[in-house]
Amino acid sequence: MTTRDALDRIYRERGRLIPEEVVVEARPATHPLHVHFTWDDGEAADLWRQEEARHLIRSVKLPTTIVENGVPRIVHVRAFPNVPTEDGDSYVPLDVVMERQDLQEMLMSEIRREIGTLRRKYEAHLAVFRAVLREEAA
């Protein structure tokens, strides 16, 4: 059974698909989704704390004034952007990124990559929705 099949089955049995219920279903070692989870509570707790730390770091924003067409406006940007480096991803204070050309280039490369990923993701969704709308209009 594929991951998609297992998730689809949970949705069809329960009428919804929410993380809490996926975990409940996947708990038995024989369930096909069981292998996708960390069942050692100590290890899982540490992994969860790391995720909480990522969220905390990403949540800190700096108000920044930008000028577009001669009109200033305030935007909020991450105080610690995630910069992919040779040593792995690292959160770096924005002022440090702005001082270093290498970090700026790495961050811009990552931004372009993420924009491309989002574009591909939503272009595929739009193509499906457009096809459905055309069929309904016909």
The pLDDT tens digits for 75-134 are: 999 999 998 777 777 899 999 999 999 999 989 998 999 999 999 988 888 888 888 888
Is the full-model pTM beyond 0.85? no
**Listed range (3-12, 20-29, 35-44, 127-136) with the worst mean pLDDT:** 127-136
- Distance, in Å, from the CA atom of 124 to the CA atom of 135, rounded to the nearest integer, reads 17
Residue 90 · residue 110 · CB < 8 Å: no
pLDDT-derived band of residue 138, with 50, 70 and 90 as boundaries? confident
Which among 44, 54, 42 has a CA at the least distance from the CA of 23?
44
The answer on pLDDT for 43 being more than 90 is: yes
The answer on pLDDT for 29 being more than 90 is: yes
- Distance, in Å, from the CA atom of 112 to the CA atom of 90, rounded to the nearest integer, reads 18
Tokens of 75: 């935007």
Residue bearing tokens 């990923």: 117
pLDDT-derived band of residue 72, with 50, 70 and 90 as boundaries? very high
* Own/partner long-range contacts of 28-37 (Cβ < 8 Å, ≥24 apart): 31/6, 32/1, 32/2, 32/3, 32/5, 32/6, 33/3, 33/6, 33/7, 36/3
The pLDDT value recorded for residue 58 is 93
